[in-house]
Amino acid sequence: MTATSMKASDFKAHCLQVMDEVARTGQPVTITKRGKPVARIVPAREGAKDIFGALKGSVTVTDPNDDLIDPVEVEWEVIEGTEPNLP
């Protein structure tokens, strides 16, 4: 089976083979009903073994000259100890 999409009836008849193929090849398979996609079988990803580093590579800094740890110059009213002016 090398299809990237298949009818729900075909998936029902061959679901174990489809799951084995997805696990082996890493290629997702889309399940359709009446020609419209209804589900997608994708390979399982291993979870992060540790919380530290779990998001590594998921953040992009758009401006390399921007100092992300530079303190914010605006003081909030809560920090100053005053109540905000509410209507």
Write the secondary structure of 5-27 as one string of H (helix), E (strand) and C (coil).
EEEHHHHHHHHHHHHHHHHHHCC
Distance CA 32, CA 79 (A): 56
Could you list the pLDDT tens digit for every one of the 87 residues in the chain?
A: 445 999 999 999 999 999 999 999 999 999 999 999 999 999 988 765 677 777 777 777 677 676 666 666 666 666 555 666 655
Distance CA 55, CA 48 (A): 9
Instruction: Report all structural domains of the chain as residue ranges with CATH numbers, in order of start.
Output: 1-43 (3.40.1620.10)
